[in-house]
Chains A and B, each alone.
Chain A
Amino acid sequence: MQSVAEIAAHLDLPVGAVRVLLGDLVARNLVRIREPHLTVGPTEHSIFEAVVNGLRAL
């Protein structure tokens, strides 16, 4: 998984251009996107705890 920003940096292209390119790829089912939204509820809490523990372990 890569963020749009990462792809743009690796390709050395503006984010806007990469977004258009990715939009075309999404339309052709060649890439999948995951929005950075959290599901609310106990899952959210466990994700936050996993982040804290992960950071401590760095």
Chain B
Amino acid sequence: MDYGHSERPSDAAPLPTAIKILIAGGFGVGKTTLVGAVSETRPLRTEEVLTESGVGIDDLEGVETKRTTTVAMDFGRITISDDLVLYLFGTPGQDRFWFVWDELALGAIGAVVLADTRRLADCFPSIDYFEGRGTPFLVAVNCFEGARRYRLDEVQAALNLDPEVPVLLCDARQRESAKEVLIMLVEHAMKIRAARRAD
């Protein structure tokens, strides 16, 4: 039997498995910061600096120090091993870019909803979205300097979250904190998938 010479020897090498996690939340809540804190490279992004007309459209109250916003998406990559790569996709912060979400959410194992207690309502749309799609998610309260701290149960109640949804405090700038958030999300997603299989 003659199998011949493979024209594409690269076919023999197995492709790594890609795992996708979404980082969602309101405008200026620290999504890009969180991605950057754990990504092996600087977050890649399609970003436009807001012009004066943009400032008029976006509600900047409570995010005084933020000068630019991500209008498309930003993402990072963590190579776990030769056969496993984790991608972090920041979702667009502004409602008018939500058309990007459906594609982003495809195949994602779960989502981190970042919350800022000064603008807690900003994460309602993200929560609604993931609840609607059945995407496992948790809420990570980014502890901004000068922001009033709330107890986690207060946040849980204010967001009317299912008691199974994990809520934790984080500092999106800190690598260890961002790692903890992602680990908790993956463990939560594992639990949910196991429960769904059991049903």
Q: What residues of chain A have their CB less than 8 Å away from a CB belonging to chain B?
A: 1, 3, 5-6, 8-10, 14-15, 29, 32, 34-38, 40, 44-45, 47-52, 54-56, 58
Contact = CB atoms under 8 A, between A and B. Distances in A.
Contacts, number: 88
Given A50-B84, A55-B186, A36 B175 contact: no
Max count, chain B CB within 10 A of own CB: residue among A14, A36, A40: A36
30 contacts: A1-B16, A3-B75, A3-B87, A5-B73, A5-B75, A5-B87, A9-B45, A9-B75, A14-B46, A29-B8, A32-B11, A34-B15, A34-B16, A36-B87, A38-B17, A45-B194, A48-B190, A48-B193, A50-B80, A50-B84, A51-B19, A52-B186, A54-B78, A55-B80, A55-B183, A55-B186, A56-B179, A58-B38, A58-B78, A58-B175
Given A6-B77, A51-B19, A55-B182, 13 more contacts: A1-B16, A29-B8, A32-B11, A34-B16, A34-B17, A38-B17, A45-B190, A47-B19, A48-B189, A54-B86, A55-B80, A55-B179, A58-B78
